[in-house]
Amino acid sequence: GRAELGGPGRMAAPSLAEAAAQWLRWDKNTKTSEIVKQLVAEKNAGELQKCFGSRMEFGTAGLRASMGAGISQMNDLTIIQTTQGFCRYLEKNFSDLKKRGVVIGFDARAHPSSGSSSKRFARLAGTTFISQGIPVYLFSDITPTPFVPYTITHLKLSAGIMITASHNPKQDNGYKVYWENGAQITSPHDKGISQAIEENQEPWPQAWDDSLVDSSLLLHDPYVTINKDYFKDIQKHCFHRNINKETKLKFIHTSVHGVGHEFVQSAFKAFDFKPPLAVPEQKDPDPEFPTVKYPNPEEGKGVLTLSFALAEKEGAGIILANDPDADRLLVAEKQESAEWKVFSGNELGALLGWWIFTCWKNQNQESTAVKDVYMLSSTVSSKILRAIALKEGFHFEETLTGFKWMGNRAKQLTDQGKTVLFAFEEAIGYMCSPVVLDKDGVSAAVITAEMSSWLATKNLSLSQQLKAIYDEYGYHITKASYFICHDPKTIKELFENLRNYDGKNTYPKSCGKFKVSGVRDLTTGYDSSQPDQKAVLPTSKSSQMITFTFANGGVATMRTSGTEPKIKYYAELCAPPGNSDPGQLKKELDELVSAIEEFFFQPEKNKLQPKAE
């Protein structure tokens, strides 16, 4: 560890002054090196500590941090160092790397005060690979994140990088990595890449010479081909062209100042729709995200204010909102009451799962085919697909949280000759087509539009169809939220308390008036429902995650967030098919959630901050 003191024969961790001096020898970006010179001259220990205290951690999601100077932030030099490490790691893993190459995409983020931008980072990453004789497919313009995994599988490349911070605040950026199978990396690749970054910190001779990407024969621009082929490929999921052509529905689309506008327009064209009406103030990429507090559609109505206004003005009934890198989708629909309903990720997951299976069934009449069909969702998402699968005879599997797990599992199943129709997570992420093994908000938007148009010919709205799904397969009502806690010790104690609730190594048997019928702890690997008491899903000691099953059909998971100081919870009440009273179920779920907050979180005792409404 960096913090250990150097004993005999061991180097001490470099002092901040040494780290800054080293930085200034290597950094050729005038803005970041100026910032560091300034801090050194002012002897600003606090800021130097912030910039040089610790290197950004490279995890399975790659990097995500604010843009600025030093090893703790995203900037030209840390991008060069990261790419040098990634490059060496790929060389070790692929003997044919120089034949196959890598793809690099970027969003529209920029941070003028540190001279950073996604495009600049992508060019530097491209330079690193080209300097080592490795072909680079560098997009000449912004693209949605799903274009990178699509390009890997489509062109059979070794790996891909997307420079994006998705829906994070505007000062952040990120470096997302995909493997040759077109899915995000899983462990232990992150460890291997991390180590390679540590070993390749000094910029290679041509590292700063980004004119290489303009002149090298190793550089290819996949923009035109991929734009053509992707939209051709997703047409496999278009089943009702004539309805799309004629539909009276009007769609509003917002790309929330991100990359989505042009690509969703193209997707609508590919499905023979009239173009959706774009929110004019938000359709062009703008790294300042001027009209929203957070560019995250999951934060709900605030992001949709301008969309609601345009919909009212144009008489449109459905809003499709992408996050800034267009890999997620939020949907809202105007109700007969004139109120707007914003669908949760789980509700849209139910609708898309139902729709995609219905379309598949119409194409595949033979009764045995269904045995090879799969759908996936993450373990904190609604179990509605499980209920549909049980009744319709296909397979449902749950994975750990995060699309890297669903993407990799989908690839394994496909390689075994199975058909993976759909995967989703409650954080508004949907994989509607196997051509992208990751969440894709572009295909999800146009498939949602086709589903809505088809339903309209039956005089049904999305919310009416959702009710029909619940009536047929059983109501699944979900509620999720989080507490903020900045003290890792408190978080650990809270979870340890649940593991030693009534004496050592005993979990709670009840929560208020609700009886606990099962416990699965993916931190320790315990599962009370398995014959050998061992959990089936992979376990991880480094993150906290416990799922409680209740006698009343409730399921609740408590987990720590990998990227934020939050303890999240996800609760669901699943009723069997039949005459359920949704109002009564909702009341029961609210009571269960209150009991979980009171008895399992103990917010007063643990000084937890509730989510701000």
Among the listed residues 158, 166, 452, 461, the single catalytic one is 166
d(CA 323, CA 329): 7
Residue, of 124 and 578, whose pLDDT is higher? 124
Q: Residue 561 carries which side chain, given as an amino acid letter?
A: S
In 10 A of CB 601, how many CB atoms? 20
Give per-residue pLDDT as tens, 587-601: 999 999 999 999 999
Mean pLDDT for the chain overall: 95
* Whether the Cβ atoms of residue 364 and residue 483 lie closer than 8 Å to each other: no
Q: Residue 302: its pLDDT value, please?
A: 87
pLDDT band at residue 6 using 50, 70 and 90 as cut-offs: very low
d(CA 254, CA 324): 10
Q: Residue 8: its pLDDT value, please?
A: 40
pLDDT band at residue 13 using 50, 70 and 90 as cut-offs: low
User: How confident is the model over 263-274, as a mean pLDDT?
Assistant: 98
Q: Give which of 566, 559, 558, 563 is closest to 595, Cα–Cα.
A: 558
- In 166-260, alpha helices (H): 189-199, 212-215, 223-234, 241-246
Give per-residue pLDDT as tens, 421-435: 999 999 999 999 999
What token pair was written down for 265? 């327009």
**Alpha carbon separation from 228 to 232, 441, 475 (Å, rounded):** 6, 18, 41
Kindly write down the DSSP assignment for every residue of 465-525, as one continuous string: HHHHHHHHH--EEEEEEEEE---HHHHHHHHHHHHTTTSTT---SEETTEEEEEEEETTTT
Kindly write down the DSSP assignment for every residue of 23-56, as one continuous string: HHHH---HHHHHHHHHHHHTT-HHHHHHHHSSPP
Q: Which of 294-298, 395-399, 440-444 comes out lowest in average pLDDT? A: 294-298
Give per-residue pLDDT as tens, 316-344: 999 999 999 999 999 999 999 999 999 99
pLDDT band at residue 578 using 50, 70 and 90 as cut-offs: confident
CA distance between the termini of the chain: 40
User: How confident is the model over 251-255, as a mean pLDDT?
Assistant: 98
Does residue 365 carry a pLDDT above 90?
no
Does residue 155 carry a pLDDT above 60?
yes
Give per-residue pLDDT as tens, 156-209: 999 999 999 999 999 999 999 999 999 999 999 999 999 999 999 999 999 999
In 10 A of CB 129, how many CB atoms? 29
Does residue 55 carry a pLDDT above 70?
yes
User: How confident is the model over 205-223, as a mean pLDDT?
Assistant: 97
* Whether the Cβ atoms of residue 37 and residue 43 lie closer than 8 Å to each other: no
Cα Rg, the chain, nearest whole Å:
25
Residue, of 6 and 387, whose pLDDT is higher? 387
Does residue 408 carry a pLDDT above 90?
yes
pLDDT band at residue 580 using 50, 70 and 90 as cut-offs: confident
Q: Give which of 569, 522, 424, 562 is closest to 60, Cα–Cα.
A: 562
Q: Residue 267: its pLDDT value, please?
A: 98
d(CA 297, CA 319): 12
What token pair was written down for 171? 């000062």
Q: Residue 300: its pLDDT value, please?
A: 72
Q: Residue 64 carries which side chain, given as an amino acid letter?
A: R
* Cα dihedral value 368, 369, 372, 377, nearest 10: -110
What token pair was written down for 94? 């692929």
Phi, psi of 38 (to 5 degrees): -60, -50
Q: Residue 299: its pLDDT value, please?
A: 81
What token pair was written down for 522? 């993916």
Does residue 117 carry a pLDDT above 50?
yes
What is the β-pairing status of strands 609-610 and 554-560? unpaired
Q: Residue 565: its pLDDT value, please?
A: 87
d(CA 462, CA 333): 7
**Alpha carbon separation from 146 to 162, 226, 486, 580 (Å, rounded):** 9, 11, 33, 39
Q: Residue 367: its pLDDT value, please?
A: 82
pLDDT band at residue 457 using 50, 70 and 90 as cut-offs: very high
User: Is 166 an active-site residue?
Assistant: yes
Q: Residue 613: its pLDDT value, please?
A: 63
What token pair was written down for 17? 């002054």
Does residue 451 carry a pLDDT above 80?
yes
Q: Residue 11: its pLDDT value, please?
A: 42
